[in-house]
Chain A
Amino acid sequence: QKVSVEVLDHLEHLALVDFRDAEGVERLQKAIQFADQLHEVNTDGVEPMDSVLEDRCLYLREDDVTEGNCTKELLENAREKVEEYFVAPPGNIPLPKLEERETFLQGS
């Protein structure tokens, strides 16, 4: 069962990934097939485990101020800044629609 172009397009929008070429899409297909093997295990009545940390104790921190005040350091990473603000484009620039952008998926 192949992954549809609509799903691939949706993923490119959501995660801003680029499947680049047939090999990239094929790798995704194989990864899904590999993971699908999990369905062969009978998990009736078994609580899902979503982390190997599930038996660890979640450490609780005291409510003290111990960090911050490093504006200069943080802004060193900014390509553009205005006074002490980070600068970003005016809003999300959505990925163009499938028909309008250069993606391998167009040909599929």
Chain B
Amino acid sequence: APWVPVVGLEIHAQISSNSKLFSGSQVQFAAPPNSLVSFFDASLPGTLPVLNRRCVEAAVMTGLALNCSINKKSLFDRKHYFYADLPAGYQITQQRVPIAVNGSLSYSLCIDNKMSQMVTKTVRIKQIQLEQDSGKSLHDDTRSQTLVDLNRAGVGLMEVVMEPDMCCGEEAAAAVRELQLILQTLGSSQAVMAEGQLRVDANVSVHHPGEPYGVRTEVKNINSIRFLAKAIDYEIQRQIEELENGGTILNETRAFDSKLGCTVPMRDKEGQQDYRFMPEPNLPPLILYDAKSLPANMNHQQVINIDWIHERLPDLPSVKRKKLVEQYGILPEHSFTLLNEDGLAGFFESVVKQTQMKPKKVIGWILKDLLSYLKQHSLTVKESPVSSFLLADLLNLLEKKEISSTAAKQVLAELWKGEGKTPLEIVKEQKLELLQDQKELEQICQAVIDGHENEVIMMVLG
């Protein structure tokens, strides 16, 4: 009987803000240990949480971008567990009534790895909640101790919960990639996985069609989108094999080992956790307003207007792609590649502005020649030795038929060296000009024919 895998995701995105969710200490990636920690973050007695307005706005923006209903009243709770990097012994989160619920995220997949056949899928967003990040634990196994740095403790997180609407690693990876692009477009999170700004846990189970869902496992410690797909696919296979061999699946938490490419049970996770949720007694409900409910006599700075935020949302990736296709006549799959690479869409548009060549032709140079070179040398668009100005200059020469397509590629190869030469200079140096003079061309052809009498006779004879 066939197996149906079921995949859900819990994504934690670090909010892009200057200070933390409930305190005024700075949010910054690399800093001396325990230098970005306030008394509240260290959970010293007598301190209280004070909510950061920017974090609320980030969550509202994200909720709106994901088609959620924004809860005008949401609540904060305490989630209790013991760990050295959680000094208070609890995390402030939104378990009962989160800030946003019932949204959706559309993403695209290539069928059979063919970019020309793309299909759109949707995953439901169960909720988005605001919560605190924990500190960082550095395990020193040699000295049998853990070093704790609280710089990250208290940083604002948006937890985005995706319903189990996905069926494999590829779908999960595509959904997360789209979410990442949305967050980066909104600016609510920089969502760089490598810096821990976007962390993904996968919930995986398998069952036979028509039967109830199987026991699910939670997979953690996934550090990139590529590993996300691998971890999920491995876990699906592991569960299928286990069940086909008559075994059972434990409702456990497993860690992905990227070196071995497999999932392993996690230590330190003793059975089922009881978090003893309780309302956060120090925070009243969070009330948000819209144009209709806006209170008349309230301090402007104390009011968050959902409609105001909605009006100012930037174009989301899906809208940007549509506009690129409509404006420039490029293919949908081209628009995906353009947006997938930071700065590439801007580079493309910049070249189009500076050249007479049609966008449909320019796109080939951007996606094939420019992008492949950048990939080969692990460069970002920003680091490209060839600027949009230089490329446009080159394409103009080609468009005016002053050089051939082959010659253009040669010039480009020379431009990559970044020696500061212009395309025209390179063309002259390497004598790549196309001969336009009819008479000169005839003379050359005649000379070739004259110089190869035998070959000519062979050709004429057939």
Show the binding face of A for B, using Cβ within 8 Å: 10, 14-16, 50-51, 53-71, 74-75, 77, 82-92, 94
Residues of A within 8 A of B418 (CB): none
Among A50, A61, A64: residue with most chain B CB under 10 A: A61
Q: Which residues of B contact A71 (CB under 8 A)?
A: 32-35, 37
Question: Would you call B276 and A14 a contact (CB within 8 A)?
Answer: yes
State which of A53, A56, A86 has its C-beta within 8 Å of the C-beta of B34.
A86
Check B53 for interface membership: any CB of A closer than 8 A. Answer: yes
Q: A64 and B302 in contact (CB under 8 A), knowing A54-B285, A71-B37, A88-B84?
A: no
Residues of B within 8 A of A92 (CB): 82-83, 268, 270
Residue among A75, A87, A89 with the most chain B CB within 10 A?
Answer: A87
Tell me the smallest distance from the CB of A13 to a CB of chain B, in Å: 9
Q: A60-B51, A65-B19 are in contact. Are A94 and B283 (CB under 8 A)?
A: no
A67 B38 Cβ-Cβ under 8 A: yes
For B, the interface residue count at a CB cutoff of 8 angstroms equals: 57
Whether the Cβ atoms of A59 and B302 lie closer than 8 Å is yes
Q: Are B36 and A68 in contact (CB under 8 A)?
A: yes
Determine whether B187 belongs to the interface, using a CB cutoff of 8 Å to chain A.
no
Asked if A67 contacts B25 (CB within 8 A), the reply is yes
Tell me the residues in window 248-294 of chain B with beta carbons closer than 8 Å to chain A beta carbons: 267-268, 270, 274, 276, 279, 281, 283-287
Which listed residue, B17, B267, B285, touches A58 by the CB 8 Å rule? B285
Q: Is B197 interfacial (CB-CB < 8 Å)?
A: no
Whether the pair A85, B19 counts as a contact (CB closer than 8 A) is no
B284 close to A74 (CB less than 8 A) = no
User: What residues of chain B lie closer than 8 Å to A74, measured between beta carbons?
Assistant: 34, 37, 39, 42, 150
A69, B18: Cβ atoms closer than 8 Å: no
- Please provide the 5 A-B residue pairs with the shortest distance between their CB atoms, ordered closest to farther: A66-B24, A88-B84, A63-B54, A68-B25, A67-B38
Q: Which among A58, A64, A71, A94 has the greatest number of chain B C-beta atoms within 10 A? A: A58
Question: Are A89 and B19 in contact (CB-based, < 8 A)?
Answer: no
Pick the residue among A60, A65, A84 that contacts B25 (CB under 8 A).
Answer: A65
B378 sits at the interface (CB 8 A): no
Which residues of chain B are near A59, meaning CB under 8 Å?
50-51, 302
Cα A94 to Cα B271 with chains together (Å)? 12
Q: B284 touching A58 by the CB < 8 A rule?
A: yes
Q: Determine whether the beta carbon of A88 is less than 8 Å from that of B19.
A: no
Query: In the complex, which residue of chain A has the Cβ closest to the Cβ of B25?
Result: A68
Specify which chain A residues have a CB less than 8 angstroms from the CB of B138 in the assembled complex.
85
What chain A residues lie within 8 Å of B56 (beta carbons)?
A: 60
Question: In the bound complex, do residue B82 and residue A87 qualify as a contact, i.e. CB atoms below 8 Å apart?
Answer: no
Residues of chain B from 47 to 88 with CB closer than 8 A to chain A in the complex: 50-56, 75, 80, 82-84
Q: Is the CB of A87 within 8 A of B42?
A: no
Minimal beta-carbon separation of B241 from chain A (angstroms)? 30
CB of B232 to closest CB in A, whole Å? 27
A68 vs B26: C-alpha distance in the bound complex, in angstroms? 7
Contact B286 A58 (CB under 8 A): yes
Q: Does B436 contact A (CB under 8 A)?
A: no
Q: Does B145 contact A (CB under 8 A)?
A: yes
Nearest A residue (CB) for B286? A58
Which of A16, A75, A82, A86 gathers most chain B CB within 10 Å? A86
Chain A nearest CB: distance from B164 CB in Å?
29
Residue of A nearest to B42 (CB): A74
Instruction: Name the residue of chain B whose CB is nearest to the CB of A72.
Output: B34
Q: How far is the CA of A68 from the CA of B40 in the complex (A)?
A: 10
Q: Does B301 contact A (CB under 8 A)?
A: yes
B147, A82: Cβ atoms closer than 8 Å: yes
Assembly CA distance A36 to B366 (angstroms): 71
Bound complex: CA of A77 vs CA of B44, how far in Å? 10
Contact across chains for B302 and A60 when beta carbons are under 8 A apart: yes
Cα distance A66–B284 in the bound complex, in angstroms: 23
In the bound complex, do residue B146 and residue A16 qualify as a contact, i.e. CB atoms below 8 Å apart?
no
- Interface check B144, CB cutoff 8 A: yes
**Which B residues touch A70, using CB under 8 A?**
37-39
A77 to B75, CA, bound (A): 33
B24, A65: Cβ atoms closer than 8 Å = yes
A91 proximity list for chain B (CB < 8 A): 146, 267-268
**Which residues of B have CB within 8 Å of A82?**
145, 147
A-B contact pairs, 15 of them (CB 8 A): A10-B274, A58-B287, A60-B302, A62-B53, A63-B54, A65-B26, A67-B24, A67-B25, A68-B26, A74-B34, A74-B37, A86-B150, A91-B146, A91-B268, A92-B82
Closest Cβ of chain B to A94, distance in Å, is 6
Asked whether B168 is an interface residue with its Cβ less than 8 Å from the other chain, the reply is no
Contact of B23 with A by CB under 8 A: yes
Q: Which residue on chain B has the smallest CB distance to residue A86?
A: B148
B159 at the interface (CB under 8 A from A): no
Q: How far is the CA of A68 from the CA of B284 in the complex (A)?
A: 25
- New contact pairs (16) apart from A57-B284, A61-B53, A68-B24, CB-CB < 8 Å: A51-B279, A58-B287, A61-B19, A61-B50, A62-B301, A63-B19, A63-B54, A65-B25, A67-B23, A67-B38, A70-B38, A71-B32, A86-B147, A88-B146, A91-B267, A92-B268
